[in-house]
Chains A and B, each alone.
Chain A
Amino acid sequence: MSDAVPAPRSEGLRDLLVPVLVIVIISAGSALLLGLVREATREAIAAADRAEAENALKIVLPAGLSVDVTKPFTATVNGRELEFFAGTDEAGTLRAVAAKTASDKGYSGLIRILVGFTGLDDSGTLQVTRTYVLSHAETPGLGSKITTCQEQTDAAACGDAFWTRFQGRAVSPGVLKPVKDGGEIQALTSATISTRAVCDAVLEAGEYVKAHRQEILDGLRGAPGKGGTP
C-alpha cells in the first residue's frame, strides 16, 4: 500500500492527478467499448423484445391472426390501466382482442395476466379464448400452478391445467368465478385465493370489453397512423 511518509507538496498534485487520469481513461475506454457493443446488439435486442411480447399474444389469441404489440388501446378500469391488443386476420378484419390486466388480490403480490376475447361482433357472443399468466408471486406448488402447461396451445396435451378451465367461457359473473363463489371455474386445490384473483381480473376485463366494445374496436382500428387513444 502507500508509504507512511507523506509525499512532498510539489509531488502531491501529480500523485493525485495520475490516478484520477488513469481511472478516467479506463472509464472512457469502457464506455466507448460498451457503446460499440450496444450498437452491434441493438437490433437483436429489439427483435427479441418484440418476439417475447408477440409470443404471449399469439398464445392467447386464436391461431393464424397477426398481432401488433406496438399500438395498444389503453383504458383505466377500476383504477387500473388495462392495455388491449388487436388480433387481425389476413383480410385486415379485427377478429379478437387481448387484454393485459392484473390483479392484486392474489395470495402474494401482483398477478399479471393476458386474456383473449373473441365473438366481438356482439356483446352477447363475447367469450374468452384463453388466459396466460405473465407474472406472479403465488405460493410455489400451490398457487403457482396457475401457470402449469400454459406455453402449450393444445388443451388436450395439458389435461386439467388451469388455463384450460377458461377456454371458451362466456363473459358473465355466473361463469367467470370459482365454483365456490357461484361460477363455473374449478378452483386449484388449496389455491382458491389465486384462482379467485385470476377469475376476478378476467371477468373485469371481459365486462369492460362488453360494455365498451365499440370504443375499443374503434380505438384499435384507428390506431395505425393515428396513434390510438391514450
Chain B
Amino acid sequence: MAEMNLVMLVIFAIFINNVLFSRFLGTCPYLGVSKQISTAMGMGAAVIFVITLAAAITWPIQKLVLDPLDMGYLQTITFILIIAALVQFVEIVMKKTVPGLYQALGIYLPLITTNCAVLGVAIININEKLSYVQALVFSAASAVGFTLALLLFAGIRERLALRRIPRDFAGVPIGLVVAGLLAMAFMGFAGLKF
C-alpha cells in the first residue's frame, strides 16, 4: 500500500478494500447504529473525526517514541489508551457543541473506543509502512468507506422495516445477510486502478 499515490489510496480504502466489507472491521457498530440514515450519518462523521485524529496521534507516537526506544511491544496498550482518551475528549466536545447529535448517538459514542476499525486502521498505518500523510489520508478514507457502508445499510434497513422477514432472521442475522450481499457487490471493485 505504501507504493500507492494518494488518489489510489483513497479509492483503495473506500471501495477496493472497504474497511467493513473487505476487512470486517467495525461490524458491531455497523449492525447496531444503522437503523436510520440520519444517525448513520452522525455516527459516520464521528468515526471519521476520531479515526483521523487517532492516526494523527498514534503514528508519531510509534515513530518517535515506541520505535526508537524499541518498545514496539507496547503498541497495543499505548494505541488503545490514546483512542480511549480521544473518544472521551470527543464526547465532551460534542456534548457542548452538538447536544442533539450527542443525545441521538447515545451509547454508541463511547462505543467508538471498541470499534475495531479505529484501532485496526491505526495499526494498519504502521504495518503497511505508510508515511504520515498517507496514514492520515488512508485513515480518513477508511472512515469514509465505513460511513458509506453505514449509509447503504441504513437505506436498505429503512426499506426492510416495511417487509416481512423470517422471524429467526430479525435483527442481526438479516443485517449480516445484507452485509454479505453488499460485500459481494463491493468485490466488483477489485482490480480498479488509477
Interface set of A (CB-CB < 8 Å, partner B): 27, 30-31, 34, 38, 104, 107-110, 139
CB distance from B43 to the nearest CB of A (A): 23
CB distance from A221 to the nearest CB of B (A): 31
Within the assembled complex, what's the spacing in Å between the Cα atoms of A139 and B188? 11
Partner of B191, one of A30, A110, A139: A139
> Are the C-beta atoms of A30 and B190 separated by less than 8 Å?
no
Say whether, besides A27-B77, A34-B73, A104 and B3 are in contact (CB < 8 Å): yes
- Further 6 A-B residue pairs, CB within 8 A, beyond A27-B77, A108-B190: A31-B74, A34-B73, A34-B74, A34-B77, A107-B191, A110-B3
A contact residues around B16 at 8 Å (CB): 108
Interface residues of B in 65-84 (CB under 8 A from A): 73-74, 77, 81
> Are the C-beta atoms of B77 and A30 separated by less than 8 Å?
yes
Within the assembled complex, what's the spacing in Å between the Cα atoms of A107 and B16? 12
Which of chain A's residues has its CB closest to B81's CB?
Answer: A27
Within the assembled complex, what's the spacing in Å between the Cα atoms of A27 and B78? 10
A contact residues around B77 at 8 Å (CB): 27, 30-31, 34
Partner of B190, one of A34, A38, A139: A139
Interface extent on B, as a size class?
under 10
Interface residues of B in 137-173 (CB under 8 A from A): none
Within the assembled complex, what's the spacing in Å between the Cα atoms of A92 and B3? 37
Within the assembled complex, what's the spacing in Å between the Cα atoms of A139 and B74? 35
Interface set of B (CB-CB < 8 Å, partner A): 1, 3, 16, 73-74, 77, 81, 190-191
CB distance from A30 to the nearest CB of B (A): 6
CB distance from B143 to the nearest CB of A (A): 21
Which of chain A's residues has its CB closest to B189's CB?
Answer: A108
**Inter-chain contact count A-B, CB under 8 Å?**
19
B contact residues around A110 at 8 Å (CB): 3
A contact residues around B191 at 8 Å (CB): 107-108, 139
> Are the C-beta atoms of B3 and A38 separated by less than 8 Å?
no
CB distance from B177 to the nearest CB of A (A): 21
Which of chain B's residues has its CB closest to A30's CB?
Answer: B77
Within the assembled complex, what's the spacing in Å between the Cα atoms of A107 and B77? 37
Within the assembled complex, what's the spacing in Å between the Cα atoms of A110 and B191? 12
Partner of A107, one of B3, B73, B74, B190: B190
Within the assembled complex, what's the spacing in Å between the Cα atoms of A165 and B191? 25
A contact residues around B190 at 8 Å (CB): 107-108, 139
A contact residues around B81 at 8 Å (CB): 27
11 sample A-B contacts, Cβ–Cβ < 8 Å, listed by A number:
A27-B77, A27-B81, A30-B77, A31-B74, A31-B77, A34-B74, A34-B77, A107-B190, A108-B16, A139-B190, A139-B191
Within the assembled complex, what's the spacing in Å between the Cα atoms of A110 and B4? 10
Which of chain A's residues has its CB closest to B1's CB?
Answer: A109
Within the assembled complex, what's the spacing in Å between the Cα atoms of A109 and B16? 10
Within the assembled complex, what's the spacing in Å between the Cα atoms of A84 and B1? 23
Within the assembled complex, what's the spacing in Å between the Cα atoms of A175 and B98? 66
Within the assembled complex, what's the spacing in Å between the Cα atoms of A36 and B190? 44
CB distance from A23 to the nearest CB of B (A): 9
Within the assembled complex, what's the spacing in Å between the Cα atoms of A30 and B81? 13
Within the assembled complex, what's the spacing in Å between the Cα atoms of A34 and B76? 11
A contact residues around B1 at 8 Å (CB): 109
Within the assembled complex, what's the spacing in Å between the Cα atoms of A139 and B3? 19
B contact residues around A139 at 8 Å (CB): 190-191
CB distance from A179 to the nearest CB of B (A): 22
Within the assembled complex, what's the spacing in Å between the Cα atoms of A92 and B142? 51
CB distance from B156 to the nearest CB of A (A): 26
Within the assembled complex, what's the spacing in Å between the Cα atoms of A152 and B191? 29
B contact residues around A27 at 8 Å (CB): 77, 81
B contact residues around A108 at 8 Å (CB): 16, 190-191
Within the assembled complex, what's the spacing in Å between the Cα atoms of A38 and B66? 14
